[in-house]
Structure 1
Amino acid sequence: MPEQPIKVLLVEDNPGDVRLLQEFLWDVTTAQFELMPVERLDRTLKLLNQESFDVILLDLSLPDSQGLETFITLHRQAPAIPIIVLTGLDDENLALRAMQEGAQDYLVKGQVSGDLLVRCMRYAIERQRIEEALRQSEERFRVALKNSPIVVFNQDKELRYTWVYNTSPGFINEEILGKRDLDLTAAADAQLVFDIKQRVLSTGIGIRKEVSITTAQGIRYFDLTVEPLRNEAQEVIGVTCASIDISDRKLAEEKIREQAALLDVTTDAIFVRDLDNRVILWNKGAENLYGWLVQEAYGKKVVELLYDDEPPEEVEIALLTVINQGKWQGELPRVTKSGKKVLVSSRWSLVCQEDGTPKSILTVDTDITEKKQLETQLFRAQRLESIGTLASGIAHDLNNILTPILAVSQLLPLKFPNIYSEHEHLLEILEDSARRGADLVKQVLSFARGVEGKRMTLQVKHLIREVVKIIKQTFPRSIEVCIDVAPDLWTVYGDSTQLHQVLMNLCVNARDAMPDGGSLTISAENLLIDENYARMNLDAKVGPYTVVTVADTGVGIPREIVERIFEPFFTTKELGKGTGLGLSTVIGIVKSHGGFVNVYSEVGRGTQFKVYLPAAQKIQIESTPQLEPLAGKEELILVVDDEPAIQEITRASLETHNYKTLVASDGIEAIALYAQNRDKISAVLMDIMLPSLDGLTAIRTLQKINPSVKIVATSGLASSSKLAQASTTNISGFISKPYTVKELLLTLQKVLNG
């Protein structure tokens, strides 16, 4: 396709000059240019309204217009068409002024050649196109900035505004130009941005910084970028800046920080993991519950933090449920950093992106370990009560059945005196079996409802002496029997036969737990249970108790069956060597006396049964001299125990009585706290059984740090072996769990003043 000719509008009133220019163009080419001459300006303006041209050759001296005004009028009419000014030798200054007003170039008449004319017109056209493209680009840039939150501006070396695009609300370009920041903002804000810009001017290095400015709309936040503005010689002549209002983002970040603070206030463990199960959020509650700090937990897989090995099947079910249904809740076992097992009520929620694509899983865990322990005690009591009701009904029916059998077995020899001797033996077997059945029923009734007998005020130490006398005569010599009875032991109101049976059953069980011999200790002491103690034991009530302890050094009871040992017919003995009614009878009798039983056992180390019997109400407890605990003198006590409930109760008790406390959950933490505060700590209350580092090792370590440290040891299993080990550590005192506030305070008082 042939190239379109360039249309040239020649505005010239001199026919000779017109003819000359036509010849120049004709000599160069006839196909590239189409020349149209015009003699007057008014005719030119009319023609421009009718046709379009690529370039204009303009003589500034016309019949109807003279000088620079000729160019200005024409340029105003056709600003997009490049104009080349034609001038004489004496009018070159006029041509230069025209170029300052927007002319593309000028030619001096008499010095024009064909090539020069063509090159000049082509250059003018190309330059005009470039300028137009630049204008369009600048316009697009201006529109883009106008519709964006960015403010772009230049300032000179005196930091006066010289150019501004898309100014912030409340400011107009004309109002800002020539002014400085001090003229527009508060002095403190102006000084801040002045220092930033002045540093760029002096160093020539750009800076990006977030700043806050007080405006008519209040405090606003800006992301400010300042770069040096240079001339062609690369000299710094000012600064060029870009500022974007980030106030909304800052407010959103502040809201997020507030929400994060609220997450840290809650006692629940809250964490978020991505779909690869890696932690991306871990709140303070999670740190407190599981022991992992946020920097330790971040990026780790949940199974690495909360389980020793493979997670239970419930975790996989929960994960599938939350992915498919968006939420899940239930109870899950967890393991803390220290290895402690906890039970949590866990709620999972699926977090999705705006398009509905799953992004992460939010988990909220509530520690229900202590609650479950109390529920277990309650359910056990209810279960035993239900079994007792059932057993009572069965025993009643069995008595009705056994009564005639026993009577007949005794009546038959009288009715048939001449019966053969071998038949007499059968009758004896029948009678013996009936009696054994009747005894079994009595045991069931003892468990079920305590079988009321003759009750009176009793001194338990007399019962203990009777039982010890029997077992010393009947138990193997390999079993050493020891007694430790308080001289001022309170009396109880009860049935001596039934309480005798309780002691014998416990001693027989202790004997069976020590087939290779060992130590059997029976002790009795007074205990005044207060509200603090009652909170630690569901069956306890406030008041005076006589406590009888039967402890052995036998094989111990596995943890998984401790909760079942009081159930009737449950036994771990070989077939034919136990009915499973011994301990159920014990619990039935003790409960019928208004008391309760606690058991502490450690496999391979022995078992300890504590029988709590209410002291007789007519006993004048006050008549027995009792030391009253004194308030502390703000001494600092380091409490070391791995049970949160014990920590809380002990700390509250001590602080109520004017002591200060530090709390540690294991031996390692206790050593660290003591090392940091050894000059402040007056005494240490140390549980013997601790995770990570056991109490006895921790005690020895503390004594190496400070040989004169005062330590009170505590334990829920006061087995002979543990007490023997504790005695070798030169501890200052010992109290067994659960302890009363009075016991705790008196022990500390004795240790601190000793």
Structure 2
Amino acid sequence: MKPHLRVLIVEDSEDDTLLVLRELRRGGYHVEYVRVDTAASMQAALNQKLWDIIIADYSLPAFSGLAALELLQSQNLDLPFIIVSGTIGEDIAVAAMKAGAHDYIIKGNMARLVPAVERELREAQERYKRHSAEQAFRESEDRFRTLCASAPLAIFQTDAQGQLIYSNPLWYDISGFSEQQSVGYGWIQAVHPEDRTEVSQDWQRTVLEQSTWVDEYRLLTPQDEIRWVRALASPMYSTERRFLGHVGTFEDITDRKQAAQKIYEQAALLDISIDAIAVCNLKNHILFWNKGAERLYGWTTAEIVGRNATLLLGKNGETSPSFAEIQAILAKEGKWQGELQQVTKDGKDIIVESRWTLMRDEAGNPKSILKVSTDITQKKQLEAQFLRTQRLESLGSLASGIAHDFNNILTPILATAQLLPAKFPNLDENSQQLLEILESSARRGADLVQQILSFTRGVEGSRTLVQVRHLLSDIAQVAHRTFPKSIETKTDINPNLWTVFADATQLHQVLMNLCVNARDAMPDGGILSITAENLWIDENYAQMYGNSEAGFYVVITIADTGTGIPSEIINHIFEPFFTTKEVGKGTGLGLSTVMSIIKSHNGFVSVHSEVGQGSSFKVYLPSREATETNIVTNTNLPSGNNELILVVDDEVSICEIAKTTLETHNYRVLTASDGIGALALYAQYIDDISVVLIDMMMPVMDGSQTIQMLQRMNPDIQIIAMSGLMAYEPHEQKQSLGIREFLAKPFTAQVLLNTLHEVISEIG
């Protein structure tokens, strides 16, 4: 049984109506119908209910099929309309179809009625579905456009070639470009000129690869306003996986960028602060850590954030006052200020002046603690040193008084020793010798008292020509007699040592300070070496020591085989009050006094040290004794043959001086400031480098390690080592490391060129 069928029949003949109904029922339909024969009755029927189909006679006395069709069309109703007539001709039928009728049937051929009805019902159903889909699409499109128009993001769509085919109004507001300016590739013109090439290339790559596009860049509006946008686009595909283009969004992130820039600038201000700035939660766990804190404590932000500040920075994991005590003050007053004893990452004790502020949230509840700490360790040390210096001044005053009384005691002794030979001319030889010893000892005592008075009063003595050889002999005797027996004193003093124009008392003080430091560096014993030699310093040599001048010098070397000086503090040892000795065992003034005195004599001091190997202090004093005939000139210095030399030294001045010297004498030079750089350069020029000139003492990778790595690269490598510590068995070191020659720093151009010439000659 076919479904229920509601039929509106436009017919004036009852018989013809029954004929139509019989055919429909014969076709299996349950028919509900109304017959009308005027326009008014048809309008009333259309208003009364919904119909499935309309079957109309072509010609009626007061109405017609075409008129009925026009009435139906005026109501915008899409119903199947079939004309049934006994008189219609083919031309009339065609006209009816053109007017909108769906089919026509001759009353003499009613067998076509049911198939025509079935067909038209199906087509009407399809039209309904299609219309519904189109209506739904239009509604969806309207919703999409409404959504896009009100979206907080600029939305766009491109075709498969990457050209813009749609964008919502927000894009025009952000970019300042119109729709006509934006379509196609026009949107790229909105990109800031400095970013345009990069953005265009990245977009073209995205189109070619049919991939997702994510980018942040600047726009330049027609009003010359710069805006930052974040673009995101995803590829679109058809159901057949055909690439259709991209759909995506532009987000205006100008405010976010400006806020981020402001935060960055504020963070930069915090980072350039010399104070350590930290933020901790209420349990003292670190939340923020600026660069000043990294510099002071040695902990990086990544290492320390989230850790407990008391356990990490407190001495032995505690602070005084305790965190609980400070927290109680913060809760009551909102701030606290005081001194804290803390430790750095490498275990160094420091003292900080710390200012804590309790931070609250919008509701006024405590949320964190802001800490600003200033390193006052040096200030505290200076205060302590100042008090110790005052005690030294008092001691100096006491020493002056003792010296005065001691002079009073020595005066009659010396006078008696001089008078006795005249009073007793017949004394035996032994007695006369005893009197001479007495007089000599009294004079030495008087000279010693004079030195003490000169030092304690701080008065510069007169300068005369001084033979340093005698001072060194006295110093060596004092060291031999007074230093522990576990320390062996060795001397090597040129018998023809030149004289210097100096204050003998001050030089005596310099040498004693250096020897006492050497003694303290050898608590378990060792060798104290005291050497002196004459030296002509050329321009290259002098440049290694700043403002020094070329000329004749007496060089005094005080060396020990003690503990050595760590590289991280060797640049501070001549600073006033700097000391590594325990409280009460050193003032920190010894080496600063040495430097001050030698500079006042137009000389200079160099130091070379290695932890566990010892230290060597060289004192250079200008001499006026030598004549111009002693000057060493460069006229006979050997030159190279365009060989390539690699110079490795962490002292830039030494690298530059060696480079200048060698290039002046027909060598090519490469320089490296550390072992890593030396290895890289040697690997690059391994077939061209003839000799490597390398310092034995460098940070990170020292000379020995670098030489071993170089020898792995080339077992036949030619090495000339440089060192300021040449007293420590260089022969054994040469053999163990395969070193051809050693150069003692500082060296003259003559020594450098002769040594290099000898090594290269042996290679050839």
Question: What range describes the TM-score normalised by the shorter chain of this pair?
Answer: 0.5 to 0.7
- Equivalent in the alignment of 1:626: 633
Residues in 2 aligned to 1:66 and 1:277: alpha-carbon distance in whole angstroms: 95
Which sits farther off after the overlay, 628-637 or 518-527?
Answer: 628-637
Distance 1:388 1:472, change over 3 A: closer
Distance 1:332 1:671, change over 3 A: farther
What per-residue deviation string (whole Å, max 9, x for no partner) do you get for residues 215-235 of structure 1?
xx9xx99998777768xxx7x
Pick from 664, 681, 688 the counterpart of residue 680 of structure 1. Answer: 688
Alpha carbons 1:11, 1:41 under 8 Å: kept: no
- Equivalent in the alignment of 2:400: 399
- Equivalent in the alignment of 2:531: 522
The question of 1:137 aligning with 2:146 is answered: no
- For 2:79, what is the secondary structure of its paired residue? strand
What per-residue deviation string (whole Å, max 9, x for no partner) do you get for residues 586-618 of structure 1?
5675455454545544454333232233x1457
The question of 1:720 aligning with 2:715 is answered: no
- Equivalent in the alignment of 1:665: 674
Q: Which aligned pairs between 1:44-443 and structure 2 lie closer than 5 A?
A: 75=73, 82-88=77-83, 111=113, 128-141=131-144, 240-242=244-246, 301-302=302-303, 395-396=396-397, 399=400, 403=404
| Structure 2: tracts of 5 or more residues without a match | 190-200, 216-221, 223-228, 265-271, 273-279, 289-293, 306-310, 320-333, 336-341, 347-377, 413-442
- For 1:139, what is the secondary structure of its paired residue? helix
Alpha carbons 2:692, 2:720 under 8 Å: kept: yes
Alpha carbons 2:502, 2:601 under 8 Å: kept: yes
Residues in 2 aligned to 1:650 and 1:456: alpha-carbon distance in whole angstroms: 34
The AA in structure 2 aligned to 1:625 is V
The question of 1:608 aligning with 2:616 is answered: yes
The question of 1:638 aligning with 2:633 is answered: no
What per-residue deviation string (whole Å, max 9, x for no partner) do you get for residues 67-121 of structure 1?
999868965x555xx411321267887787678xxx9x87979636999799998
Which sits farther off after the overlay, 547-556 or 697-706?
Answer: 697-706
Residues in 1 aligned to 2:237 and 2:583: alpha-carbon distance in whole angstroms: 94
Alpha carbons 2:212, 2:232 under 8 Å: kept: yes
What per-residue deviation string (whole Å, max 9, x for no partner) do you get for residues 338-359 of structure 1?
xxxxxxxxxxxxxxxxxxxxxx
What per-residue deviation string (whole Å, max 9, x for no partner) do you get for residues 675-706 of structure 1?
34311323323232345654224324434543
The question of 1:702 aligning with 2:705 is answered: no
* 1:549 to partner: Cα distance: 0.6
- For 2:717, what is the secondary structure of its paired residue? coil
Residues in 2 aligned to 1:385 and 1:623: alpha-carbon distance in whole angstroms: 48
- For 2:140, what is the secondary structure of its paired residue? helix
Residues in 2 aligned to 1:441 and 1:95: alpha-carbon distance in whole angstroms: 146
- For 2:556, what is the secondary structure of its paired residue? strand
Alpha carbons 1:485, 1:525 under 8 Å: kept: no
- For 1:547, what is the secondary structure of its paired residue? strand
Per the normalisation by structure 1, the TM-score is 0.53
Please give the root-mean-square deviation of Cα atoms over the aligned residues, in Å. 7.7
What per-residue deviation string (whole Å, max 9, x for no partner) do you get for residues 464-497 of structure 1?
4565577678888876554445688654211345
Alpha carbons 2:648, 2:674 under 8 Å: kept: yes
The AA in structure 1 aligned to 2:245 is C
- Equivalent in the alignment of 2:653: 649
* 1:136 to partner: Cα distance: 1.3
- For 1:608, what is the secondary structure of its paired residue? strand
Residues in 2 aligned to 1:541 and 1:595: alpha-carbon distance in whole angstroms: 7
Q: Which aligned pairs between 1:491-640 and structure 2 lie closer than 5 A?
A: 491-500=499-508, 502-503=510-511, 506-507=514-515, 510=518, 513=522, 516-518=525-527, 520-526=529-535, 528=537, 541-542=548-549, 544=551, 545-556=553-564, 590=598, 593-613=601-621, 615-616=622-623, 623-627=630-634, 636-640=644-648
Alpha carbons 1:40, 1:62 under 8 Å: kept: no
Distance 1:508 1:119, change over 3 A: closer
Residues in 1 aligned to 2:691 and 2:145: alpha-carbon distance in whole angstroms: 76
Residues in 1 aligned to 2:8 and 2:509: alpha-carbon distance in whole angstroms: 136
What per-residue deviation string (whole Å, max 9, x for no partner) do you get for residues 619-639 of structure 1?
556842233779988754434
Pick from 712, 734, 737 the counterpart of residue 742 of structure 2. Answer: 734
Residues in 1 aligned to 2:527 and 2:500: alpha-carbon distance in whole angstroms: 30
Residues in 2 aligned to 1:98 and 1:630: alpha-carbon distance in whole angstroms: 118
The AA in structure 2 aligned to 1:83 is D
Q: How many residues align?
A: 600
Distance 1:408 1:239, change over 3 A: closer
Residues in 2 aligned to 1:436 and 1:383: alpha-carbon distance in whole angstroms: 36
The AA in structure 2 aligned to 1:720 is Y
Aligned-residue sequence identity (percent) comes to 28
* 1:385 to partner: Cα distance: 11
Distance 1:443 1:402, change over 3 A: closer
Distance 1:210 1:405, change over 3 A: closer
Distance 1:407 1:729, change over 3 A: same
The AA in structure 2 aligned to 1:133 is A
- For 1:551, what is the secondary structure of its paired residue? strand
Residues in 2 aligned to 1:44 and 1:602: alpha-carbon distance in whole angstroms: 117
Residues in 1 aligned to 2:393 and 2:129: alpha-carbon distance in whole angstroms: 114
- For 1:88, what is the secondary structure of its paired residue? strand
Per the normalisation by structure 2, the TM-score is 0.53
- For 1:83, what is the secondary structure of its paired residue? coil
Distance 1:627 1:458, change over 3 A: farther
What per-residue deviation string (whole Å, max 9, x for no partner) do you get for residues 654-674 of structure 1?
5656444252633x6644542
The AA in structure 2 aligned to 1:626 is T
Distance 1:442 1:607, change over 3 A: farther
Alpha carbons 1:11, 1:40 under 8 Å: kept: no
- For 1:720, what is the secondary structure of its paired residue? coil
Distance 1:124 1:529, change over 3 A: same
- Equivalent in the alignment of 2:463: 455
- For 1:714, what is the secondary structure of its paired residue? strand
- For 2:80, what is the secondary structure of its paired residue? strand
- For 1:679, what is the secondary structure of its paired residue? coil
Residues in 2 aligned to 1:384 and 1:542: alpha-carbon distance in whole angstroms: 35
| Structure 1: tracts of 5 or more residues without a match | 1-5, 186-191, 201-205, 212-216, 261-267, 269-274, 280-285, 291-296, 305-309, 318-323, 326-330, 336-375, 412-434
Residues in 2 aligned to 1:505 and 1:744: alpha-carbon distance in whole angstroms: 31
- For 1:678, what is the secondary structure of its paired residue? coil
Residues in 1 aligned to 2:647 and 2:734: alpha-carbon distance in whole angstroms: 17
What per-residue deviation string (whole Å, max 9, x for no partner) do you get for residues 42-77 of structure 1?
9969x99xx7986685678689998999868965x5
Distance 1:133 1:504, change over 3 A: closer
The AA in structure 1 aligned to 2:396 is A
Alpha carbons 2:603, 2:620 under 8 Å: kept: yes
Residues in 2 aligned to 1:13 and 1:93: alpha-carbon distance in whole angstroms: 21
Residues in 1 aligned to 2:485 and 2:694: alpha-carbon distance in whole angstroms: 36
Distance 1:408 1:400, change over 3 A: same
- Equivalent in the alignment of 1:293: none
* 1:560 to partner: Cα distance: 9.4
